[in-house]
Structure 1
């Protein structure tokens, strides 16, 4: 089972061009980076449980219903009367979205450490607002450290929302303290620019992070595709998969879920197994994730694909080691 920890929120997405002073029509959509990852994993066929604190208001009820409808286990959810976090999203001409957040006193900020995860948990995925907004951020950080020490494979997509980070340098130092505990770091090129040291080129920053603990760092490069960098400095690149882009909401979350599903399917949810993946296997994994993200971009809001919309994640390519070539779902 893969546990996804973090916020569940409501995206208020403009359905028409946003031009001041007109007030655009907005659609309410279920969202939040970790929430999207959990939904995507379930749609792909992974056993997944969501850990978060979700409101008992109408938005919260809809969020919980969405998890259950997709097949996400909700046993780890905490509930509370506080309001649901809102994210106001305004897609631009290229499909990218600008966000503003309403987070004061919301339910997901008040999550408490659940103690050790169930023994069947093989991986923990974290990221986005949940790693920034206190007091919940400290609870998620404790979970990250403890579960890593217990041998759980930890994946992180920081998905930086800079406008919510009061002390950028403190957050960057905190981010680097997480790295030794990670099996997989997924980071967008934009976030890598923000997280890098002053004047440090992105390529150098990513290689430095890869040397600090993660078994692999995956860099998402928008229309340029995906790259993986391993601790020895090796790099594998794949191009993006073309689609009619409606918006990019949830694309990075889909990449994170697809990579975790691919690793699980190929019995590689383990830092040593990830570190041993050859270039051919990484090309297969990155292509699978890029294909999934392209499908998400072709739809409004975060609507990740199902397993039957994608090729099999099972490895069968010539030259791939036998231990990564079997279909292990």
Structure 2
């Protein structure tokens, strides 16, 4: 079981140009998309979050159930669902503004235990920024790591939600001893101001950096560096692409029985390119269609 911990929200995606373009609601949130992608790939997965009782919340849970994701660890609340208004650029890249005051996912509390059979827990995005929930997710991360559970982190920086950049950067560094696999975009890496070697020295067994169409690179604690090119595709938008990479990496590691620090180190020059290539293909499919629509396993066969 791979547990994904973090927010579920509604993306409002413009269907046209201009400030008053019609907005189409879409189910989203980085951790939520990761959980959906894991379910579609066929990995046993569970979602750990707090979701509203409103109509958006019900729709979010319905999709998780429909992809086979366990929602028994989802807390419920009367608070509204978080909204994210997306702006899609000419190159398909997405930027967001958020409506987060008093929303359900901010009131998440750390569970007393992880679901039975948990092999890995994935964290990231807004859930590690917005208090008081952020401290609860941080507590869960440290607890899982202390129990020897494989942990994955994708900070997925949303700078507009971070009131004190320096404080967040310091907090990010404090998480690294509790992280097994760190995945982040080149833009995140630039914003954070560190290097893969610095982050590896602080704790993770591997760091994966995504560079959009240019591909992915993995850096390992033993000095390894492995790069694969991106898959060429006509990009509709990039919504959910990074979340798909998260899921593909975790799924690929689970299939290889490699959800441990020792197993990451043993992947080597054969395993890492194969794993990264799988993640690149999965992300390309997501980019080829509107919204966060990650691929199913059969779309990646072969």
- Say whether the fold is shared (TM-score over 0.5): yes
What is the rounded CA distance, in whole Å, between the counterparts of 1:115 and 1:125 in structure 2?
17
Alignment partners' CA distance in 2, 1:240 and 1:311: 18
Q: Structure 1 residues 170-179 or 285-294, which shifts more?
A: 170-179
After superposition, where does 1:8-19 map in structure 2 within 5 Å? Answer: 8-17=8-17, 19=18
Q: Does 1:259 align with 2:249?
A: yes
Tell me the matched-pair count.
302
> Could you tell me which residue of structure 1 aligns to residue 289 of structure 2?
299
Match of residue 154 from structure 1: 151
Structure 2 residue aligned with 1:201: none
1:160-309 mapped onto 2 (5 Å cutoff):
160-196=157-193, 205-309=195-299
Gaps of 5+ in 1: 198-204, 313-329
Q: State the Cα distance separating 1:279 from its structure 2 match.
A: 1.5
TM-score for both structures, normalised by structure 1: 0.90
Residue number among 143, 146, 149 corresponding to 2:140 in the alignment: 143
Segments of 5+ residues of structure 2 without an aligned counterpart are: none
Q: Deviations over 1:36-81 (max 9, x none)?
A: 0000000000000000000000100100111101111010000001
Structure possessing the higher radius of gyration over alpha carbons: 1
Rounded to whole Å, the distance in 1 between the matches of 2:116 and 2:200 is 28
Q: Distance in 2 between matches of 1:243 and 1:141?
A: 36
The structural deviation recorded for 1:103 is 0.2
1:49 aligns with 2:39: no
Please give the per-residue CA displacement for 1:302-327, whole angstroms capped at 9, x wherever unaligned: 00000000035xxxxxxxxxxxxxxx
Counterpart position of 1:323: none
Contact 1:116/1:147 (<8 A) preserved: no
CA distance in 1, matches of 2:265, 2:170: 25
CA contact (8 A) 1:2 1:121 kept: yes
Give me the whole-angstrom Cα distance separating, in 2, the residues matched to 1:269 and 1:60: 31
RMSD: 0.9
